[in-house]
Amino acid sequence: MIAPLQILLFLLLALAGPAVVLTRIPVPQSIAVSFYGLVLAMIFFLHQAPDVALSQIVVGAIALPLMILLAVAKVKSREAAGK
Amino acid sequence: MNLRLALFTAGALGLAAVMAAGMRRLEPIGSYHGAYGEVLNAVAVGERNSTDVVSAVNFDYRGLDTLGEEYILFTSVLAVAAILRKQKDEHDEAPDQFREVPASDAVRLLGVGLVPVTVVFGLYLISHGAVSPGGGFQGGVVLASVPLVVYLCAGAKTFLRIPPPALAKAGESSGAAGYVLVGCLGILAGKAFLENVLPLGRPGGAWSAGTILFLNLTVGVAVAAGFVELLSSFVEKALKR
Amino acid sequence: MTGHLPYALAAWLLLWGLYGVVTSKNLIHLVICLAILQSSTYVLLLAIGYKAGAVAPVYADMPPGTPAVDPVVQALMLTDIVVEATVVALLLALAVQAHERGGSLDPAELASLKG
């Protein structure tokens, strides 16, 4: 009933989700969540939702990893200043 | 830790069983029976002259929800700025600790190429929200990534020449207030708040769909300024003169 | 069977996100697992609104009247994505501030609040 490409992307997302959770260190995790956001945007695009796909790319691949890296940088600079 | 994991496993199995029992009764994906979506698809282009039905739903049929969403963004930026403000016992870093311009010419050339294209693309997404997929929010975040590209590719000194943080604050509040003011145009015309009272143009052009264009512009300005403000709260001294 | 795959995927992502939140040792890792949790609802909403063989609800180059997927559910997803971005920003700010006050990013070590 649904195309094989959609099923393949669903399975890829099912693998990417645990991969993000099991990456415990924040900086590699930001790269993993960026990939997860990209797969999610592809799923939205294949399901005829271009507005939502644009929004997801913009948030999940630009804003979210950026905020994570900035938070990690701020924490590290405060640790370095405290020592 | 083991007790926590055991409790979680028990709870998760119960939750999974409940979700499986509920989802088994849902229809398989692809068979959609709702009436609201089909009615909207049939009448939106004719009533509002907007070819992008999702934007018409967001800014016209359910415009009040987008007002709430914009104020969620506004409140969150306010709260982040309040949480990360400089405390009494913090000291300023010396200004010569900024990272210098990267030595690689490839990165600087990439920045020079990316910045104008991204600005134009962001403005296109904002202003054509009623015509093609896009809208105020997507275009606003694309615009907010331009100072970031400048910072990454040209160093902190060039980044400091971009307009001061007062402009970001003014942009954000004027975007949030502008949405309400455009909504009040409906009240001034004698109809409901946020009703589409401006003349509708030709569907497919940029000046179609009445108030949707102006709502997109205010949301785009508010979101771009809000995200720049958010990023600058995290980056400590980068935006201060 | 494959018709119910998106619903199973939503439940799978929800449980993995919960597992990440429960067994996290780093506040920033916890916030990202919360984002995964929230994205399971996008998959569920998308699956509810999809109509097989339909096109996107953008009529710029199609005659109005061609069957399209549900636009209301997509508007809900747009609001959901914006709320996710703002919640993650706020929680990261709280995590940074908690690290400054408490000295570490580990939730177990931050458990005692000093008054």
- Among A21, A34, A58, the residue to mutate for chain B (most B Cβ within 10 A): A58
Torsion of CA C74, C80, C84, C90, to 10 degrees: 140
Of the segments B129-133, B141-145, B211-215, which one has the largest average pLDDT value? Answer: B141-145
CB B229 within 8 A of CB B142: no
Q: What digits encode the pLDDT tens for the residues C80-99?
A: 999 999 999 999 989 988 88
Q: Which residue has the tokens 């003349």?
A: B199
Interchain pair B53, C68: CB under 8 A? yes
Mean pLDDT of B77-105: 65
Q: Are A51 and B137 inside 8 Å of each other by CB? A: no
- This complex has an ipTM of 0.88
* Residue A66 with chain B: CB contacts under 8 Å: 148, 231
CATH number at residue C15: 1.10.287.3510
CB proximity B3 to C under 8 Å:
no
Closest by CA to A72, choosing from B234, B155, B80, is: B234
Q: Do A29 and C32 touch (CB under 8 A)?
A: yes
For residues C56 and A53, is the Cβ–Cβ distance under 8 A? no
Q: At what angle do helices B2-23 and C5-22 cross, to 10 degrees?
A: 160
List, for residues B20-55, the tens digit of each pLDDT value. 998 888 888 877 777 788 888 888 777 777 788 888
Show the domain range for C55: 5-113
Whole-angstrom Cα Rg for chain A: 16
Residue count (chain B): 241
C-alpha B43/C-alpha B67 separation (Å) is 23
Beta-carbon contacts of B93 under 8 Å, excluding residues fewer than 6 positions away, are A81, B236, B237
Gyration radius from chain C CA atoms: 20
Q: Do A7 and C5 touch (CB under 8 A)?
A: yes
Q: How many domains does chain A have?
A: 1
What is the token pair recorded at B148? Answer: 């970031």
The range of the structural domain enclosing residue A71 comes to 4-82
Q: Which residue of chain B is at minimal alpha-carbon distance from C52?
A: B30
- Residue B96 clears pLDDT 60, i.e. is over it: no
- Compute the distance between CA of residue A37 and CA of residue B159 in angstroms, rounded to an integer: 28
CA-based R_g, chain B, Å: 23
Q: Report in angstroms the alpha-carbon separations of B182 from B75, B187, B209.
A: 20, 10, 14
Beta-carbon separation of C96 and A75 below 8 A: yes
CA distance B211 to B187: 13
Per DSSP, the three-state class of B132 is: coil
Rounded CA separation B91/A68 (Å): 24
Averaged pLDDT of chain B? 80
Q: What is the DSSP string of C46-87?
A: HHHH-BTT-B-SB-SSS-BTB-B--HHHHHHHHHHHHHHHHH
DSSP character at residue B61: I
pLDDT-derived band of residue B132, with 50, 70 and 90 as boundaries? confident
Chain A residues in contact with B93 by the CB 8 A cut-off are 81
- Supply the pLDDT for residue A39: 95
CA distances from residue B217 to A57, A62, B179, B212 in whole angstroms, order as listed? 21, 21, 9, 9
Most distant CA atoms of chain B, gap in Å: 65
Q: Does the beta carbon of A26 lie under 8 angstroms from any beta carbon of chain B?
A: no
> CB distance from B41 to chain C under 8 Å?
yes
Among B171, B167, B179, smallest CA distance to B221 is for B171
Cβ-proximal residues to C89 (8 Å cutoff; 6+ apart), any chain:
A67, B76, B77, B80, B230
Which letter does DSSP use for residue B190 in this model?
T
- Per-residue pLDDT at B4 exceeds 80: yes
Concatenating the DSSP letter of every residue in C9-37 gives HHHHHHHHHHHHHHT-SSHHHHHHHHHHH
The model's pLDDT over C18-72, given as tens digits with 9 standing for 90+, comes to 999 999 999 999 999 999 999 999 999 998 888 887 888 888 777 777 788 888 8
pLDDT under 70 in chain A at which residues? 1-2, 83
Q: How many domains does chain C have?
A: 1
Candidates C1, C2, C7, C21: best to mutate against B (most CBs of B within 10 A) is: C7
Is residue B155 within a helix (H) or strand (E), and if so which, with residue range?
A: helix B136-159
How many other CB atoms are there within 10 angstroms of residue C3's CB atom?
Answer: 16
- B4 to chain C, any CB pair closer than 8 A? The answer is yes
> In chain B, what percentage of residues exceed pLDDT 70?
85
User: Mean pLDDT over residues B70-74, rounded?
Assistant: 89
d(CA A17, CA C13) in angstroms, rounded, equals 6
Give partners of B (≥3 CB pairs < 8 A).
A, C
Give the chains touching C; criterion: ≥3 Cβ pairs < 8 Å.
A, B
* pLDDT at position A17: 94
Nearest-Cα residue of chain A relative to residue C51: A47
A14: nearest CB among C9, C56, C85: C9
